[in-house]
């Protein structure tokens, strides 16, 4: 993919956000979820189940950030970022449709995730289109 400052910025920002949330969920899940009124308690199995996606988010964020600096990873990073954010955002929309409106912070998270995901779609279309023109 093209070596663009805009694309690198998108990857760095989306990667930092995913990594930051991943770290918070992995290492401080009770505090992270409490910000939206979610009480995890001391259920060891629930904490184990909650921490696992935190690790996946952290790993995804690292890959996404790496794509900003390693050209060979750039396309993969944009695809991962697109899928990550759109899947989270659209899953929240499905949950809202089925379960109702959650805490305001979770609605805001859904909106942000969809915006970041669509930004990544824009990057894919723009930079893949330019790559095809050069071929």
Supply the pTM of this predicted model. 0.91
Full domain range(s) for residue 16: 5-134
In the predicted model, is pLDDT for residue 10 greater than 60? Answer: yes
What pLDDT band is residue 134 in, cutting at 50, 70 and 90?
Answer: low
Please state, in angstroms and rounded to a whole number, the distance separating the CA atoms of residues 99 and 118. Answer: 24
In the predicted model, is pLDDT for residue 1 greater than 60? Answer: no
Q: What is the mean pLDDT of the chain?
A: 94
Q: Residue 132: its pLDDT value, please?
A: 61
Long-range (24+ apart) CB contacts under 8 A made by 23-27 are 23/54, 23/58, 24/54, 25/50, 25/51, 25/53, 25/54, 25/57, 26/51, 26/54, 26/55, 26/58, 27/54
In the predicted model, is pLDDT for residue 108 greater than 80? Answer: yes
63 and 25 Cβ atoms separated by less than 8 Å: no
């Amino acid at each position: 993919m093209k070596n663009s400052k805009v694309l690198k910025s998108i990857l760095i920002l989306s990667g930092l956000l995913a990594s930051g949330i991943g770290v918070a969920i992995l290492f401080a899940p009770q505090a992270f979820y409490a910000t939206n009124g979610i009480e995890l308690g001391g259920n060891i199995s629930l904490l184990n189940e909650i921490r696992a996606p935190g690790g996946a988010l952290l790993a995804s964020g690292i890959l996404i950030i790496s794509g900003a600096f390693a050209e060979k990873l750039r396309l993969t990073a944009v695809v991962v970022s697109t899928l990550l954010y759109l899947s989270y955002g659209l899953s929240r929309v499905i949950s809202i449709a089925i379960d109702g409106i959650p805490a305001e912070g979770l609605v805001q998270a859904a909106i942000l995730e969809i915006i970041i995901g669509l930004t990544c779609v824009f990057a894919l279309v723009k930079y893949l289109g330019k790559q095809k023109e050069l071929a």
